Amino acid sequence: MFSNLSNGAKGALCMIVGGLLLTTQDGISKWLTADFHSGEIMFYRGLFTFVPIIIIIAARTGGMRELRTRNLKGTTIRAVLGAATSIFVVVSFIYLPLADALAIIFLSPIMLTAMSGPMLGEPVGWRRWLAVFVGFAGVMLMVRPSAEGIPYYYFFPLLAALLSALRDVATRRLRNDDSSVSILFYSMVAGVLAGAISMPMFGAQWPTLAQWGLFAAAGILNSLSHLLTIQALLWAPGGTMAPFRYLSLVWAAVMGYAIWGDVPDSYKLAGAALVVGAGLFILYREMRLRQ
């Protein structure tokens, strides 16, 4: 039945499921920030991200050839952007509640829409540009800059959003070159190396057995979620797929309340509503243009 779906429908399904898995992984990573710095989390978690990749390679007839890249430069750029995104995402969880951090990070799909025109050659009309500005206004409402400016810790999720959008642009450019497994593999290698480099500088500790279990769960979920997201972007344009990520805000709000008792105030709810509304409008315009 899945094979009978259009590429757009398959991409949307992959993005929705991938978002749920990634938000669950984000919750685990936030829990681990109480005992580990971001580099440790990236390294220990990264060790387990290769499990799904190895299973997929073993199941496919191509074997290790699945990891062959036909665009080394593009793959390397995507891997570096992915590792940098992960660093700032984890750091964001240290300073902000899960839902608040993700609401700002999910400015990324709107940034992706803005970049789709100049960087990917995908048409972006004035209505979608207006939605981009509305999305940014929503973030400003959440942040509420004071006379002293924006608190420094809000720049971590903003940088994560920008890097994530650039990562997705790089993914779109690889759609005719590499498989989703190959793209994911090199991105995971970059993440593990970035974490390993940080540990001599910021210190490291050996996880307990329970913490190893959390790292294993986070790594496997992280790998599966990114694999689904990459496949979604290989199947369909970034501007069409990006808004489906907003469902993750629902998962994050539920998880944040259930585990940490986080309740966003009215400004954060209104700002998140503007961001989500802008993303959904972008999706609506994409669908209208493709009819």
**pLDDT, tens digit (0-9, with 9 covering 90-100), for 223-240:** 888 788 777 877 777 666
| DSSP characters over 29-85 | HHHHTTTS-HHHHHHHHHHHHHHHHHHHHHHSTTGGGGG--S-HHHHHHHHHHHHHH
Instruction: Give the model's pLDDT for residue 217.
Output: 96
Locate the DSSP E strands across the chain: none
Q: Which comes out higher in pLDDT, residue 79 or 182?
A: 79
Which pLDDT score is estimated for 147? 56
- Mean of all residue pLDDT scores within the chain: 82
Interval 146-172: pLDDT, tens: 556 678 888 999 999 999 989 988 887
What tens digit of pLDDT does each residue of 173-224 get?
Answer: 887 777 777 887 888 899 999 999 999 999 999 999 999 999 999 999 988 8
Q: Is the pLDDT of residue 105 over 90?
A: no
Task: Determine the residue type at 225.
Answer: S
Q: Do 108 and 132 touch, CB atoms closer than 8 A? A: no
The residue among 75, 64, 22, 58 whose CA lies nearest residue 223 is 22
The pLDDT value recorded for residue 290 is: 57
What does pTM read for this prediction?
Answer: 0.78
Give the CA radius of gyration of the chain: 18
Q: Which residue has the tokens 């959440």?
A: 142
Q: Residue 189 is encoded by which pair of tokens? A: 């290698």
The proportion of the chain whose per-residue pLDDT surpasses 70, expressed as a percent, equals 84
Tokens of 60: 């496919």
For 243, the 3-state DSSP assignment is helix
